[in-house]
Amino acid sequence: MKVGVVGASGYSGETLVRLLLGHPQATLAAVTSRQHAGRPLAEVVPAVRGIDRGLRFVDSDAAALAAGDVGLFFLALPHGAAAAYARAFVAAGKKVIDLSADFRLADLATYTRYYGEHHAPELLPRARFVLPELTAPEWRDFPLLAAPGCYPTGILVPLAPVLRAGLVTRAHIVVNSFSGVSGAGRKVEETYLFVERAESAKAYGLVRHRHLAEIEEQLALLTGAPTVIQFNPHLAPMRRGIATTITVPAAPGATVDALYAAWREAYAGRPFIQLLPSGETPDTAAVAGTNRVDLSAVHDPRTGNFVITSAIDNLVKGASGQAVQIMNLWCGFPETAGLV
């Protein structure tokens, strides 16, 4: 199957390109960038020298791309920019996997509150948010799929099954996440310069980080009841990875063994979920470059809380790898194809 990447010169786009060039079933046939149109792919992304198959960047013309023979497009674009491409591709009968936030939220009012005007609201009923390990399989019938954000992936995977099983309360859930600077995308801003970030960590986006809307909407859909969390994102002095710590009160009588049992039931046979022994916390260095989520939990008898930890690579399981995983399941390929 021929696939294309729109916005292939950003961090997520480059990661997609590298994964797709090594994919056994998908053939990368189009890479787009307005900035680099006409330039050889290997010149802009030197990591693919020798495996680039002579690809060149083409202009990001939605109508021209939609008229071609590429059957599935990945949109590695900022929110707001992806909607116009999604409209053209869906109308042309193409499959679309969007890595932006444009179609992650089902509720238009919530999207508007967090992101502003939506540029293709008529497509929302035809789109589905897909976190492969958690989303019900009916998503395969939709033409437009939204890959989850990086923070939501590291939070929903550990939290949703234990909420659904009634092992924790819905009140007083506190989530602290630390992200590598690549999560902000490729841009020139003082905050992300090496001399500003080295030896420095800071909280940001407190109270109203945009991913909060996605996390809470999905928790309600996945667990059957509204759930409010205190989400505290932090910028960490590393290139990639997200480490998350979730502190949540245990339900009466709940044990850490019961929590692990809920995880094992939810993720049986899922190749990208790894449960670490209680007391062994995940490390971002161990998941770098992989499509894994590493999970662990302990119970604190002094406070009555579970302390749950997870680690992911924000550019792979938090973005491009997860998008390829979605493609694999959607198109009938092995779930791990191109990812291990």
Q: Is 235 helix (H, G, I), strand (E, B) or coil?
A: strand
Count CA atoms closer than 13 A to 58's CA, side-chain side: 15
Active-site residue flag, 150:
yes
For residue 201, give every residue at least 6 positions away whose Cβ sits within 8 Å of its Cβ, in sequence order, or none: 178, 234, 235, 236, 237
DSSP secondary structure of 145-183: EEPPPHHHHHHHHHHHHHHHTT-B-SSSEEEEEEE-GGG
Running DSSP on this structure, what letter comes out for residue 56?
B
- For the stretch 49-57, contacts whose Cβ atoms lie closer than 8 Å and that sit 24 or more positions apart, written own/partner, are 51/21, 51/22, 52/21, 53/21, 53/28, 55/28, 55/31, 56/31, 57/8, 57/9, 57/31, 57/32, 57/33
The amino acid at residue 194 is: F
Q: Read off the tokens for 190.
A: 């003082």
Question: From CA 146, how far away is CA 304, in angstroms rounded?
Answer: 36
Tell me the CA distances in angstroms from 200 to 151, 238, 246, one per residue in order. Answer: 20, 10, 22
Active-site choice (6, 30, 131, 150): 150
Q: Which residues are catalytic?
A: 150
